[in-house]
Amino acid sequence: MSNPSLLILPGDGIGPEVMAEVRKVIDWFGANRGLTFDVSEDLVGGAAYDAHGTPLTDETMAKAQQVDAVLLGAVGGPKYDKLDFSVKPERGLLRLRKEMDLYANLRPAQCFDALADFSSMKKEIVSGLDIMIVRELTSGIYFGEPRGVFKDGNERVGLNTQRYTESEIARVARSAFELARKRSNKVCSMEKANVMESGVLWRDVVTEIHDAEYPDVELSHMYADAGAMQLTRWPKQFDVIVTDNLFGDMLSDLAAMLTGSLGMLPSASLGSPMENGRPKALYEPVHGSAPDIAGTGKANPCASILSFAMALRYSFDQGDEATRLEQAVEKVLADGVRTADLMQAGDGTPATTVEMGQAVIAALDASL
């Protein structure tokens, strides 16, 4: 049987630096755990625009469809701010999500013990926090038609459309319930059913799927604005949160910040199973391209490394090896290794991106 395949798309800003460390981790699993991957690399985002005039070529799109998993760094940067909307770096990422039909975006917000002091929240509110946001990723107002900026009489009108079909809601609800069963068996669904018809349908369909297929899971509903408030008031009341594309975008940033360490958080975007039974999948850090620190060696590679751990778990059925990698990262933190984002002024000299990568490899060695 051939090796499983990975496509690495480092992208822009700090993307290439952090993905270089991920590559070393991938090689470690090949050398030490018999998990050998066929790895290829390609361009996405501004890097692809610079080379080809488009943030994602058709060839790269086709490759992404063929591999077992895509690992992405980050896209975007001020250099590309003035580009036409249709070729902005972000369009490359959105095309990958849409054409691979990656409808379930898993965004864990986990507070690492060693970092609880870093949160802007009181320690007792966030220590031990471990929630999973499941964001619908291929529909809603991000993709709904009609959309655009139009002329209407004497003025321009900006238009986007929030649109959800029953089946789109049902499939992401199932993803959330399935995950909940492997965690604390609790799902909170968030929408604005008080204001939006699409929210009314969302609530109905989530309830129907629950009652018919997952009656054992505890289900609650919250308006998304109240959800934001509850997330800051007492986030530990949540286990799995399922929500739409736009609310999920905002609530996941909020949840990420609760943990105090955006540089630590991974994500998985999953679609339907391919012929080999693996879900279509793209893994990426929650953080962006951080152009202000690109090339300085300050970037924290942990979020991308932990995204590869999610790949081991969700694409390659290697839950134990995923745990090994997650524990290696936790050990490094417990040992006091810190990149600049995990330090305050006066804390001493931060580890560089490469040093953090080396520390994770050393912890992996120690795990054998």
Instruction: Please answer whether residues 134 and 150 qualify as being in contact, where contact means their C-beta atoms are separated by less than 8 angstroms.
Output: no
- The active-site residue, picked from 38, 225, 317, 320, is 225
Check binding of 101 to ligand IPM (CB under 6 A): no
Q: Is 314 a catalytic residue?
A: no
Q: Is 142 a catalytic residue?
A: yes
Q: Give the tokens for residue 235.
A: 């986030």
HEC-encoded secondary structure of 102-121: CCEEEEEEECCHHHHHHCCC
Nearest to ligand IPM of 128, 148 (CB atom):
148
Residue 93: contacted member of Mg ion, ligand IPM, none (CB under 5 to 8 Å, by partner type): ligand IPM
Nearest to Mg ion of 13, 357 (CB atom):
13
Select from 2-10, 86-94, 195-203, 296-304 the region that touches ligand IPM (CB under 6 A): 86-94
* Residue partners of 195: CB distance under 8 A and separation at least 6: none
- The distance of closest approach from Cβ of residue 268 to ligand IPM in the complex, given in angstroms and rounded to an integer, is 12
Q: Is 253 a catalytic residue?
A: yes
Q: Could you give the CA distance from residue 119 to residue 137 in angstroms, rounded to a whole number?
A: 27
Check binding of 42 to ligand IPM (CB under 6 A): no
Of all residues in the shown chain, the one whose CB is closest to ligand IPM is 90
- The distance of closest approach from Cβ of residue 68 to Mg ion in the complex, given in angstroms and rounded to an integer, is 26
Instruction: Please answer whether residues 188 and 220 qualify as being in contact, where contact means their C-beta atoms are separated by less than 8 angstroms.
Output: yes
Of all residues in the shown chain, the one whose CB is closest to Mg ion is 249
Residue 355: contacted member of ligand IPM, Mg ion, none (CB under 5 to 8 Å, by partner type): none
Paired with 72 in beta bridges are 9
Q: What 3-state DSSP class applies to 188?
A: strand
Q: Is 280 a catalytic residue?
A: no
Check binding of 134 to ligand IPM (CB under 6 A): no
- The distance of closest approach from Cβ of residue 146 to ligand IPM in the complex, given in angstroms and rounded to an integer, is 20
Closest among 284, 268, 367 to 29, alpha carbons compared: 367
Q: Could you give the CA distance from residue 53 to residue 154 in angstroms, rounded to a whole number?
A: 34
Check binding of 249 to ligand IPM (CB under 6 A): yes
Residues near Mg ion (CB under 5 A): 249
Check binding of 93 to ligand IPM (CB under 6 A): yes
Check binding of 17 to ligand IPM (CB under 6 A): no
Closest among 20, 23, 17 to 297, alpha carbons compared: 17
- The distance of closest approach from Cβ of residue 307 to ligand IPM in the complex, given in angstroms and rounded to an integer, is 12
Paired with 241 in beta bridges are 133, 188
Pick one of 35, 79, 90, 144: the residue that binds ligand IPM (CB under 6 A).
90
Nearest to ligand IPM of 48, 93 (CB atom):
93
DSSP state of 201: H
- The distance of closest approach from Cβ of residue 94 to ligand IPM in the complex, given in angstroms and rounded to an integer, is 6
Instruction: Please answer whether residues 177 and 210 qualify as being in contact, where contact means their C-beta atoms are separated by less than 8 angstroms.
Output: yes
Q: Is 249 a catalytic residue?
A: yes
Sign (positive or negative) of CA dihedral 240, 246, 249, 252: negative
In residues, how long is the chain?
Answer: 368
Residue with tokens 């990149």: 339
- The active-site residue, picked from 12, 68, 239, 249, is 249
* Single-letter code of the amino acid located at 28: W
Nearest to Mg ion of 42, 249 (CB atom):
249
Q: What 3-state DSSP class applies to 159?
A: strand
Q: Which residues are catalytic?
A: 142, 192, 225, 249, 253
Site residues (vs ligand IPM, CB under 6 A)? 90, 93-94, 249
